[in-house]
Amino acid sequence: MPQHPGRKLMSVERAVEQGERAVGSTSPFLAMDTEREIHRITRRIREELGGALKRRGLVVAISGGIDSSVCAALAVRAVGPDRVVALILPEKDSSPTSRERAERLADYLGMAREVEDIAPALEALGCYRRRDEAIRRVIPGYGPGWKSKIVIAGGAQGQFNYFRLVAESPEGTPFDERLGAREYLEIVAATNFKQRIRKTFEYYYADKLNFAVVGTPNRLEYDQGFFVKNGDGSADIKPIAHLYKTQVYALAEALGLPGEICSAQPSTDTYSLPQGQDEFYFVLPYQKMDVALWAHNSGKTAEELAEMIGLTVSGATAIYADIEAKRRATRYLHLSPRLIAPVPEVAGQAGETRLEAP
Amino acid sequence: MPPEQSIRKFILENYLFTEDEQALENSASLIEMGVIDSTGVMELVAFLEEQFGIRMLEDEMVPENLDSVDRIVAFVIRKQGVTAGNAAASGA
């Protein structure tokens, strides 16, 4: 099996300790034998490549964040650095720091890396123009030099989720307005060009090399629908979709990834103002969101969850309701195209190939 | 068109794609029926604001106000009353 830099073992005790450090005393549930998990994932990747996928290697778009870094390291561990291509796909609003971190990671793992600036393609498609036109209907003065992001609200308070547009003028004046359905949908639709153009590049390289495309969602993102359909949601294999984010951090350590990756804070890297994932989509920071999702999946009551993560019972009840609301709202993202009648001769209609249950 | 009729028509046409009045009970939970999700709620709020000239506050965007036709109608009537009262008080 190919080796790669920094390989080291991690004990269950260490994983538990790290989990506890990450989420206080609430995360032992998420502890796992990281070496065993790495072995299981890498074996499955090879089986899928040689079996259903019949491709010769893997394309991974890396952002410098924890999920894509872990997926890249797993890919290298599975098939060796010569059979993995890392793509770095910056645009106008993505952080230069993320790009540099991604470049260092690719070099560290010994993979080939290709940098494709997707800004010209996005300009040509009108991504930025369409987004800014929608923003201007909410904040008429919005223009060059301004920065913006979308922030989620409501879910943690037992309200329906809604979205706010937060912007900052070049002089630093802040704006914060509730988004109506039309403007929200238009801003998101324009912004989704980014994920879809990135995926277009990933499949360009995959087709050119006869490789498969790795999707990098963790369990929170996969379960709660935090991805763009036919954008970052599209892939041939999703090696960490069954792992909670806390577990992905544990894998990063076990895979020997550099400290700057292991300590990277989750960010969407999609809007021009800094935006944490818990601002845009999740109602809690990932450490608590992990525990909440785990507790919900494990049949724990709201009272038990409240105790685990230090919330009121009504707060925990609202979190459970929000988890279900997001599942409902994003079920469509997981659906394969609906057929009017079955075509049984065509295999694989049911959707994605899934890794075995954890 | 009275609020109830207008709200039913909006939901039947836009969310259920049917003219069958039987498909929607006024007391039924739109969430439990799987009729609305969070984007559906945002569209519903936009419709209510435009159709009835009201402005929905953030803390009013709760299931108690929006999760059934009955609740939506009650909310709109209450809100219109408040809006009309405010207008009268300001001499508009």
Instruction: Write out pLDDT tens, residues B39-87.
Output: 899 999 999 999 999 999 989 999 999 999 999 999 999 998 876 666 6
Test B39 with A158 for CB contact under 8 angstroms.
no
pLDDT band of residue B1 (cuts 50, 70, 90) is confident
Q: Residue A118 and residue A270: Cα distance in Å, rounded?
A: 13
> A273 pLDDT exceeds 90?
no
Q: Which residue of B has its CA nearest to A331?
A: B37
pLDDT, tens only, A160-190 = 888 999 999 999 999 999 999 999 999 999 9
Length of chain B: 92
- Tell me the average pLDDT across A268-286: 72
- Tell me the average pLDDT across A32-39: 96
> A114 pLDDT exceeds 70?
yes
Q: What is the average pLDDT value for chain A, to the nearest integer?
A: 87
**Of A14-28, A42-56, A58-72, where does mean pLDDT reach its minimum?**
A14-28
A111: which residues sit within 8 A by CB, 6+ positions away?
A60, A72, A75, A76, A81, A84, A85, A86
Q: Residue A34 and residue A40: Cα distance in Å, rounded?
A: 10
ipTM of the complex: 0.84
A8: which residues sit within 8 A by CB, 6+ positions away?
A254, A256
Closest CA relative to residue A332, chosen from A260, A236, A230, A240 = A230
Q: Residue A91: exposed, middle, or buried by beta-carbon count in 10 A (0-12, 13-18, 19+)?
A: buried
**Residue A203: predicted pLDDT:** 98
Residue found under tokens 């090879």:
A46
pLDDT band of residue A281 (cuts 50, 70, 90) is confident
Question: Least CB-CB distance to A159: which of B37, B39, B62?
Answer: B62
Q: Which residue of A has its CA nearest to B57?
A: A178
Q: How many CB pairs under 8 A join A and B?
A: 47
Q: Residue A218 and residue A245: Cα distance in Å, rounded?
A: 6
Neighbour count for residue B27 (Cβ, 10 Å)? 8
Contact A72, A248 (CB under 8 A): no
Give the gap in angstroms from C-alpha B15 to the nearest C-alpha of chain A: 13
**Residue A268: predicted pLDDT:** 65
**Residue A170: predicted pLDDT:** 95
> A106 pLDDT exceeds 80?
yes
Q: Residue B77 and residue B92: Cα distance in Å, rounded?
A: 19
pLDDT band of residue A10 (cuts 50, 70, 90) is very low
B contact test, residue of A160, A162, A187 with most B CBs within 10 A: A160
Angle among Cα A183, A185, A191 to the nearest 5 degrees reads 100
Q: Residue B37 and residue A10: Cα distance in Å, rounded?
A: 42
Three-state SS sequence of A171-238: CCCEEEEECCHHHHHHHHHHHHHHHHHHHHHHHHHHHHHCCEEECCCCHHHHHHCCCCCCCCCCCCEC
pLDDT band of residue A16 (cuts 50, 70, 90) is very low
Per-residue tokens: A132:
């800014």
Q: Residue A258: exposed, middle, or buried by beta-carbon count in 10 A (0-12, 13-18, 19+)?
A: middle
> A9 pLDDT exceeds 60?
no
pLDDT band of residue A7 (cuts 50, 70, 90) is very low
Q: What is the CA radius of gyration of chain B?
A: 14
Per-residue tokens: B79:
């809100």
**Residue A14: predicted pLDDT:** 40
Q: What is the pTM of this model?
A: 0.85
**Residue B85: predicted pLDDT:** 66
Per-residue tokens: A343:
């075509």
Closest CA relative to residue A289, chosen from A346, A246, A232 = A246
Q: For A240, phi and psi rounded to 5 degrees? A: -120, 20
Strand partners, A240: none
Longest dimension (CA), chain B: 44
* pLDDT > 90 fraction of chain A, expressed in percent and rounded: 70
- Tell me the average pLDDT across A121-125: 98
pLDDT, tens only, B14-51 = 999 999 999 999 999 998 898 988 889 999 999 999 99
**Residue A329: predicted pLDDT:** 86
Q: Which residues of B touch A (CB under 8 A)?
A: 31, 34, 37-39, 41-43, 45-46, 49, 58-59, 61-63, 66
Give the gap in angstroms from C-alpha B73 to the nearest C-alpha of chain A: 18
**Residue A207: predicted pLDDT:** 98
Residue found under tokens 């308070």:
A157
Question: Least CB-CB distance to B46: which of A163, A180, A325?
Answer: A180
Report the DSSP pairing between strands A112-115 and A84-88.
parallel
Contact A111, A85 (CB under 8 A): yes
Neighbour count for residue B12 (Cβ, 10 Å)? 18
Handedness of CA B48, B50, B52, B56 (dihedral sign): positive
Measuring CA to CA, how many Å separate A296 from each of A30, A171, A285, A324, B64?
Answer: 13, 45, 16, 10, 24
